[in-house]
């Protein structure tokens, strides 16, 4: 919410005209079709006086603003909220975010959102070379730098339907997301053009598909989704594994997985019960390749390695060999 100062005394027609002009000036350059305005009157006024002003002065202000701004008053979901504070002689305004949804694919090692240093929480320390982040780029930042320019906005935030590890590629149909564009001056952009611009500029890193406008409620819908994922894992084993042993892997498993050691610093130490199905298992040179369908929330790398016995059963246990995931791709999301 941004404040703009003004100096007015007394409630009269001149004040109304000046106030409308000041609000017009404040919102110059912003695209909007609807607004909501409220007034906070001086503390020294009686409650009766404040009530009278709200009934008489505020409706007049709304009517004048509708005419001058060429926008409609909206009490439910306005593009812009305006608060006139006569106590502080300030005008505050809040611009409603614009939301666009789509899917992203990721082809290289990248975090989904800005990867703040877990030691300094973004402040900057020796561990992160005083940058505050552990990665130079993220899916969020690569998309946002184009979207903020298209909507003339200071920032944008990505909300994903789950997330994958930094080093896991997101292939197949891609992962659903909502991009929240914060305080945009423009509310309408050519999304096909934006999509093309992102895909050309970030080719080889990410790709976005099917950008379209959506409501804020779409974020909650995505967060509530629990979708199975299909993974392709390339696995290195300490022992030679035969084709027959690999064939025996194919099947469905009820897995008990204790929070992996690598995420213990930021996750509760609990046991999760998940169902996993190994769809395919075959040799790929010196590696083995597994196609795995996993319930939402399973840590696939640890299902392969066993994570020092914290995941049971695991591929390592089933093959009686030390197994390590060398490459992991998401190849499908089952809605």
Residues annotated as catalytic are: 165
Whether the Cβ atoms of residue 263 and residue 118 lie closer than 8 Å to each other: no
Phi, psi dihedrals of residue 37, rounded to the nearest 5°: -125, 140
- Based on its alpha-carbon atoms, the radius of gyration of the chain, rounded to whole angstroms, reads 27
> HSE of 148 in the Cβ direction (CA atoms, 13 Å)?
14
List the one residue out of 116, 105, 167, 176 whose CA is nearest residue 142.
Answer: 105
As beta bridge partners, residue 236 has 324
Side by side, which strands form the sheet with 34-40? Answer: 2-5, 90-95, 80-85, 34-40, 72-73
CA distance 208 to 199: 7
* Gap between the Cα atoms of 26 and 32, Å rounded: 13
Return the number of other C-beta atoms located less than 10 Å from residue 177's C-beta.
24
């Amino acid at each position: 919410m941004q404040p703009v100062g003004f100096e007015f005394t007394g409630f009269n027609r001149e004040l109304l005209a000046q106030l409308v002009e000041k609000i017009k000036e404040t919102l110059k350059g912003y695209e909007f079709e609807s607004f909501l305005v409220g007034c906070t009157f001086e503390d020294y006024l009686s409650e009766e006086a404040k009530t009278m002003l709200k009934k008489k002065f505020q409706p007049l202000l709304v009517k004048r603003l509708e005419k001058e701004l060429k926008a409609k008053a909206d009490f439910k979901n306005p593009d812009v909220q305006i608060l006139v504070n006569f106590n502080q002689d300030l005008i505050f305004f809040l611009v409603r975010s614009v939301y666009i949804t789509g899917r992203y694919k990721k082809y290289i090692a990248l975090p989904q959102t800005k990867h703040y240093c877990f030691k300094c929480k973004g402040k900057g320390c020796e561990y992160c070379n005083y940058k505050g982040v552990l990665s130079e780029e993220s899916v969020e930042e690569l998309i946002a730098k184009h979207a903020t320019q298209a909507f003339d906005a200071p920032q944008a935030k990505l909300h994903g339907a789950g997330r994958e590890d930094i080093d896991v590629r997101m292939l197949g149909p891609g992962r659903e997301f909502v991009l929240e564009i914060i305080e945009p001056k423009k509310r309408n952009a050519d999304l096909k053009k934006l999509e093309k611009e992102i895909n050309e500029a970030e080719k080889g890193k990410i790709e976005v598909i099917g950008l379209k406008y959506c409501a804020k409620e779409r974020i909650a819908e995505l967060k509530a989704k629990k979708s199975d994922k299909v993974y392709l894992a390339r696995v290195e084993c300490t022992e030679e594994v035969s084709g027959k042993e690999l064939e025996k892997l194919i099947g469905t498993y009820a897995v008990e997985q204790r929070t992996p050691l690598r995420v213990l610093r930021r996750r509760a130490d609990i046991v999760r019960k998940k169902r996993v199905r190994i769809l395919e298992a075959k040799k790929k040179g010196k590696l083995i390749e597994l196609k795995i369908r996993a319930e939402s929330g399973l840590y696939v790398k640890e299902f392969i390695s066993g994570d020092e016995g914290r995941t049971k059963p695991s591929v390592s246990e089933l093959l009686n060999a030390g197994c390590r995931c060398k490459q992991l791709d998401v190849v499908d999301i089952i809605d």
